[in-house]
A = this chain, B = another copy of it.
Amino acid sequence: MPYYGYFNGTIQPVEQIGVGVTDLALLRGFGLFDYFLTYNGRPFQWDGYWERFANSARRMTLQLPIGKDEVYAILMDLIRRSGQPDVAFRFLLTGGYAPDSISIVQPNFIILTEPIHNVPDEQYEEGIRVMVDDYVREMAEVKTTDYKRVILLAGAMRKANASDILYQKDGEISELSRSNFFIVKGNQLITPNQHILYGITRRVVIDLARPDFSVDERAVMLTDLQDADEAFTTSSTKQVLPIVQVDDLIIGDGKPGPISRELLSRFRALTKKW
Chain A residues at the B interface, C-beta cutoff of 8 Å: 5, 7, 14-15, 17-31, 33, 60-61, 90, 92, 94-95, 100-104, 110, 112, 114, 117, 138-139, 144-148, 150-152, 154-155
Contact = CB atoms under 8 A, between A and B. Distances in A.
Given A60-B152, A92-B21, A155-B61, A27 B100 contact: no
A28 B104 contact: no
Contact of A30 (B7, B21, B103, B148): B148
Contacts of A104: 151, 154
B29 A31 contact: yes
What number of copies of this chain does the assembly contain?
Answer: 2
Interface of A is mostly: mixed
Contacts of A23: 19, 26
A264 to B, nearest CB: 23
A33 B29 contact: no
A159 to B, nearest CB: 13
Give the 3 A-B residue pairs with the shortest CB-CB distance, closest first: A18-B18, A29-B29, A28-B147
A90 B101 contact: yes
